[in-house]
Amino acid sequence: MIFRQFIDPETSTLTYLLADESTREAVLIDSVLEQFDRDRTLLRELDLTLRYTLETHVHADHITAADLFRREQGSRVAVSAAAGVKAADIEFEDGDVVRFGSATLEVCSTPGHTGGCVTYLCREQGMAFTGDALLIRGCGRTDFQQGDAAALFDSVRNKIFSLPDETLLFPGHDYKGRMVTTVGEEKRFNPRLGLDKSEADFVAIVDRLDLAYPKRIDVAVPANLECGLLAAPIPAPTSQPSPSTASSVASVMEAQGRQDAEIWMGMGI
C-alpha cells in the first residue's frame, strides 16, 4: 500500500493518503481546502486516481477540500450518516467497508467529540485513523457539535482500545510534532483516557476544561455540512507554497485561539 501523511501548519490538521499499488486507486482522509494543490500535485506525481475523500467528522477548525476534489477529479465524498452532511455521495453506517483496489478500510462509529465521528480501520496494515476521537496523549473536546464525554469514553474504550496493542493510531491533529501512536501506548500513557481512568474521571476532566470558543466554527461547520461546497472556481495548479504556510503552528494557534495550546497542552480540540 502507498501511504503518505501530511500536516496543515495553520490548524495542525493531519491528512492521510492511502492507495493500492496495483490499481493506483486512492483515498484521502480529512483533506484541507488550503492544501488542495499540495494533495492534487502528489496524486498526479504518483499517477493515482482519487476514488474517495473520507471525513472522520464535521470539522470546526478547517474547511474540507472534498467538494473541490469531487468537481475536478470525480471522487466521491463519504462521511458518517450521523454527521448530517448535505450532498455527500456516501453516508456510512458502522461496519461499512471502503474499497479501493484490493485495499479496504472498515468504518467504525466512534462518537463523542461530535455526534458523527468515525474511525477508519485498515486491518491488513494494522492501522487506524481516529480523527479527533483519540489524539496522541489526548482526545477531542466534547463541548459542541453534539459532543458527549460519556459517549467518547465508550468509543475509545470499547472500539479503539479493543484493537491489538500494536495497532498504529493516526490522529486528526497533533500540536507537538508527533505523528503516530499505538493502542498500547495510549492505554498506558493517555492522561485522560488511559486504563487508570474511570468514566467518571474522564467526564470530570473534560468538564473542567475552559476552552476558547472555536474561532472558525461559524464558517467551517456550515461549509463542511455542505461537503466544503464553494462558489469559487477550482484553483489552478501552482508551484509556489501558500503564504500561510510560513507561519509557525505556535504563532497561528496563539492568534486563532480555537485550540489554546497552553490550556489544552496540545492534546485536543
pLDDT tens across the length of the chain (269 residues):
999 999 999 999 999 999 999 999 999 999 999 999 999 999 999 999 999 999 999 999 999 999 999 999 999 999 999 999 989 999 999 999 999 999 999 999 999 999 999 999 999 999 999 999 999 999 999 999 999 999 999 999 999 999 999 999 999 999 999 999 999 999 999 999 999 999 999 999 999 998 888 889 999 999 999 999 875 677 777 655 444 444 444 444 444 444 433 334 444 45
Using DSSP's 3-state secondary structure scheme, residue 252 falls into helix
pTM over 0.75: yes
| Residue 269, in any domain of the structure | no
Please state the domain count of the chain. Answer: 1
pLDDT at 232: 61
| Residue 165, in any domain of the structure | yes
pLDDT at 255: 47
| Residue 161, in any domain of the structure | yes
The grid coordinates listed for 193 are: 483516557
CB 62 within 8 A of CB 8: yes
pLDDT at 229: 85
Q: Residue 252: give its domain's CATH number.
A: 3.60.15.10
Q: Which residues contact 146 (CB under 8 A, 6 or more apart)?
A: 111, 114, 115, 116
Find the domain containing 207 and state its range.
2-264
| Residue 142, in any domain of the structure | yes
Whole-Å CA distances, 161 to 56, 95, 164: 18, 17, 8
Q: Which residues contact 8 (CB under 8 A, 6 or more apart)?
A: 15, 32, 34, 35, 62
The label of the residue with cell 495510549 reads 186
| Residue 99, in any domain of the structure | yes
| Residue 133, in any domain of the structure | yes
Please state whether beta strands 90-92 and 76-80 pair in parallel, antiparallel, or not at all (unpaired): parallel
| Residue 167, in any domain of the structure | yes
pLDDT at 118: 98
pLDDT at 39: 98
pLDDT at 260: 38
User: Measured between alpha carbons, how far is 157 from 160 in angstroms, rounded to an integer?
Assistant: 6
